[in-house]
Structure 1
Amino acid sequence: MRNYLAALGALAALFGFHSCKDTPKMEATPEVEVVETLKDTVVVDSAEEPEEEPFRLNEDNAIDFFFNYAKDLKETKVKISTNHGDFTIQLYNNVPYHKANFIYLAKAGYFDNTYFHRVVKNFIIQGGNADNKETSRKRREIGRYLLPPDTRKGHKHHRGTVSMPSSEINNPHMLASPYEFFIVVTKPGSYHLDGEYTPFGKVISGMDVVDKINNLPVDDGDWPKQNVVITKAEAF
């Protein structure tokens, strides 16, 4: 009986080899492992399990994710490099979700090759978006979510303050758009923004670069006539 089974196995292997050679494979087939026992020949499926869906942030998991992410954070600053120079942001510790979000996006490389896409003279510069496919792809891969406002921590919109704009889409509670940020240029500040938006840091060096960007010529939509590129955002 064992000799008979062995002969059948040899014929099957020969036929299988011939079929694989002459017939194009249209679909991946799970590998199998043939294990011979005293009683029978058992076919064991050894194909790898399908990969899990990649993690993406959404409205349901973002708060829990950033709550836990903030626990192990050692970084407190982010250096923004642009094609007009560099500046450094000190992040506030008592707005943990917004701080963790900004560091997470910086470490994920989201801000790299985005623009300062809105410049309002003597008011603000706003960055974190771009009209390119790469930025859209990054947003899809990271996820779609908003952050709750955190406006009662005593931070005001002084000159150099870094704050988070609110989403303009179906957003009666002024939830923050996590992918963008703006920097106040006004002297001494733009205090009419207090209570509406969440300050989460301040520029501690390179404010002259922020002023330089703020003085660039813009079109009718406040977009700089020459792109102001964030070449790198580094958390440290």
Structure 2
Amino acid sequence: MRNFTVLILMLCVFAQCKSEDSKPKHQLPEVKTVESKPKKIIVEKKKEQEADSINNKNTVAFLKAYGKLNPETIVLFETRLGNIKIRLYKDTPLHRASFIFLTKTGYFSTTCFHRIVPGFIVQGGNSDHPITRKKRIKYNYRIPSEMKKYHKHKYGSLAAARQWDNNPKKLSSPFEFYMIQDKRGSHHLDGEHTIFGEIIEGISTMEKIAKLETDKKEWPVKDVFIKASVVK
């Protein structure tokens, strides 16, 4: 009788072990975790691609949407001659959004101050670096004019460069900007270019740049590269 009881117990133990081994392994938590990671990465990459999808067909819609998500107005330029801090105007929303966009996507950090006219302007936003040209071709858009009568070309103003030929609507280039270095202002440009900001710190740095030696094309003999970042 005792031997029979022992046999029954052994059979029960064997049956329990068999049942645990038969559980489906695909329900284990580790499998779900591993499967979920690639999906998350794909979504993040897609968002990154959508974030810089501006082009010459969706310019206004993109900048309006981007401006709502990126309300910053202060940009810092770091250079070998010192820093320049700029405040962007809220009442030129497309230009503000574009400047923040090109700062955050790294465009301005591939550029330098490439034109100096002492007593007039210091111009930046271009370079002979291949990456600069590549980004200009990639984005390829212009900004509708946002001129305001009360924004003047005063000392330290920030304005958008533009093409003068075949540009009756005075569309701005998003890539190149200039700062007024004339202490009397350059008011003959009022009504011709969109003014969308001004220097709030580091105007002495602009003055240092204005004193640099240039070649025949008004390009500084020694480049002044820009490291641009959004402050707030």
1:68 positional shift: 1.3
Corresponding residue SS for 1:182: strand
1:217 aligns with 2:213: yes
Tell me the distance in 1 between the aligned counterparts of 2:135 and 2:191: 30
Where does structure 1 differ by over 4 angstroms across 4 or more consecutive aligned residues?
Answer: none
Deviations 1:105-139 (A, max 9, x none): 11111111311000000110110101111111222
Match of 2:184 among 172, 188, 191: 188
Match of 1:177 among 166, 169, 173: 173
Q: What is the TM-score when the length of structure 1 is the normalising length?
A: 0.74
Tell me the distance in 2 between the aligned counterparts of 1:235 and 1:113: 18
Report if aligned partners of 2:72, 2:230 keep a CA contact under 8 Å in 1.
Answer: no
AA aligned opposite 2:141? Y
1:58 positional shift: 1.9
Deviations 1:44-86 (A, max 9, x none): xxxxxxx98x553222201001111112333110001112110
Report if aligned partners of 1:87, 1:209 keep a CA contact under 8 Å in 2.
Answer: yes
Number of equivalent positions: 187
Mean CA deviation greater in 62-71 or 155-164: 62-71
Corresponding residue SS for 1:166: coil
Kindly indicate which of the two structures has a greater share of residues assigned to strand: 1
1:204 aligns with 2:200: yes
AA aligned opposite 2:226? I
1:90 aligns with 2:105: no
1:169 positional shift: 6.2
Q: CA distance change for structure 1 residues 231 and 61 in 2, over 3 Å: closer, same or farther? A: same
Question: Paired residue for 1:31?
Answer: none
Whose radius of gyration is greater, 1 or 2?
A: 2
Question: Paired residue for 1:41?
Answer: none
AA aligned opposite 2:126? N
Report if aligned partners of 1:80, 1:234 keep a CA contact under 8 Å in 2.
Answer: no
Q: CA distance change for structure 1 residues 187 and 128 in 2, over 3 Å: closer, same or farther? A: same
Q: Percent identity?
A: 40
1:106 aligns with 2:103: yes
Question: Gaps spanning 5+ residues in structure 2: where?
Answer: 1-44
Tell me the distance in 2 between the aligned counterparts of 1:118 and 1:181: 10
Question: Gaps spanning 5+ residues in structure 1: where?
Answer: 1-50
Q: What is the TM-score when the length of structure 2 is the normalising length?
A: 0.75
Question: Paired residue for 1:69?
Answer: 66
Deviations 1:185-213 (A, max 9, x none): 10121111100001100000000000000
Deviations 1:2-37 (A, max 9, x none): xxxxxxxxxxxxxxxxxxxxxxxxxxxxxxxxxxxx
AA aligned opposite 2:147? T
AA aligned opposite 1:138? K
Question: Paired residue for 1:129?
Answer: 126
1:220 positional shift: 1.1
Corresponding residue SS for 1:112: helix
